[in-house]
Structure formats: structure tokens, C-alpha cells
Amino acid sequence: MTTREKVLPGVAALEIAGAAVAARVFDWWLMTMLLACAASALFTVRDLRRARLSGSTGDRTR
């Protein structure tokens, strides 16, 4: 049995484990970004509603 044949299963297992960790990290990152975008949208809607209710026109003139 050559050295390559001895090492190859370990390398394959390491690659599989690395891919699993990368998938988990990417999933965590993606969910975090989606939650951040959702929170940002909610705050924007809230601010727009407050501005409309208070009669604020911002930089616009009537």
C-alpha cells in the first residue's frame, strides 16, 4: 500500500468535514443577513409611518 493510498481516506474525510463546516457557516451568515434586512425594512416602514402621521415632509416643500 502506497503512502498516497494510506493518506487519501484521511484527506477525503477532512475535505468532507471542512465542507460541512463551511455549509454551516454560510447558512449562519445567510440567516443573519436575512434577519438584518428584515429588521432594516421594519424600521424603515416604522419611520415612514411616523413621518406620515406627524405630517413631516422632510426636504420636500408643498
Domain ranges in the chain are 22-49
What's the CA gap between 25 and 31, in Å, rounded?
A: 10
Query: 37 with 44: CB under 8 angstroms?
Result: no
Where would I find the H helices in the chain? 3-54
Is the confidence at residue 57, as pLDDT, over 70?
A: no
The model's pTM is: 0.60
Instruction: For residue range 24-41, list pLDDT tens digits in order.
Output: 999 999 999 999 999 999
